Each structure stands twice: as structure tokens, then as C-alpha cells.
Amino acid sequence: MLMECEPVFRCYQDASKESKPYVIYVSPKGNVLDQKKVKELSKKDHVAILCGHYEGIDSRVLDEIVDEEISIGDYVLTGGEIAAVTIIDSVSRMIDGVLPNEDAYTNESHMNGTLEAPQFTKPRVWHGREVPEVLLNGNQAEIDEYNRTGSLIETMEKRPDMFDKLELSEEDWKKVLARKRQN
């Protein structure tokens, strides 16, 4: 089951009437989507995402119209639709006006090469587990520092591949080790 060139090319021509789109083909052969790529794509004016189904699309049309192949992970789906939705969602939230403000995404996982710090809400104590006192004291500088250190620890424990790429200062290491000793 392979999609033919001509119907795909006609769709591309229709999408290109106003201006040529940047064409992404979602494929397990592409580079894996990451936050850096998401930011880059959010700056493009006109993007078209092409998805195959089952075996994909005839390579000749891909060679002619595709600017980049992107994968969402090292596995295979039945079709590219879910991958396309993933790209659309991750890119659209980086576009001005989609979220209320820049703060809504700047402290998220992957934005600075780390995972987000653990999050807490009410009640203050749940099953004997308390919200850390520093998060309740109202001192934003202390809260930010606590969350930064928490972010580093979370990354170290859950994504060592990401943690190994970080350049930590001696001060960062001291804070991480001190917090780990507390826990």
C-alpha cells in the first residue's frame, strides 16, 4: 500500500498557490523531533505536513517536494497522522498568541535542556507527603532556585541522556548534592 506521486503532487501544488510551504514528511526515517526543532518550525510562515499510510508515499514525489523528514520517535505507526498532530500541537504552542504569554511555556520540560521540576498543589499534606515548605513561603527567588535544582535532579534521575549534555557550575552541583542528601 503505497501512495502514488500525482495525487500528492496536486495537493502540494494547491497548497503552494499563495506561497511555497515548508514541507515536512513525517517518517520513521527522519530526524527525531525535539524542542529545538519545534522552536525553529514555529518561526516558519507556511508549513505543510505530509503523512503517508502503511508503506508511505512514492519516493519520487518526496524527493521533489519535501524539505525535511521528521520522526516523533524510534518506532513505527500505521500512518503519519498522529505524528502530524504531535508536530502541530508542539509547534503551535510556541507561536505568539496561542498561549496566554511566554511564561506559559518557558519553564516547561525540554525548554532549557532539562525536565520540569516536580509540581505540587492542594492539599498541603496528602497521604503524609507534604508540599515543600520553600514553595509556600512566598519568596520567589527561593522558589525559583528550589525549582531549578529540582529540575536538575529530575533530569539526572529520569533522563541521564539529557543530564549528561548539561554544563553545570560547581554551585549547581553543590545544590544538587545537598538536596539529594536531604531526601
The per-residue pLDDT for range 55-114, each reduced to its tens digit, is 899 999 999 999 999 999 999 999 999 999 999 999 999 898 888 777 656 666 677 889
Q: What is the pTM of this model?
A: 0.81
148 CB-contact burial (10 Å; exposed 0-12 / middle 13-18 / buried 19+): middle
The domain segmentation of the chain, as residue ranges, is 5-92, 107-182
Q: Which CATH class is domain 107-182?
A: mainly alpha
Which CATH number applies to 5-92? 3.40.1280.10
Cα distances from 15 to residues 21, 66, 125, in angstroms, run 7, 13, 55
Q: Among 18, 29, 20, which residue's Cα sits nearest to residue 52? A: 29
The distance from CA 64 to its chain's CA centroid, rounded to whole angstroms, is: 28
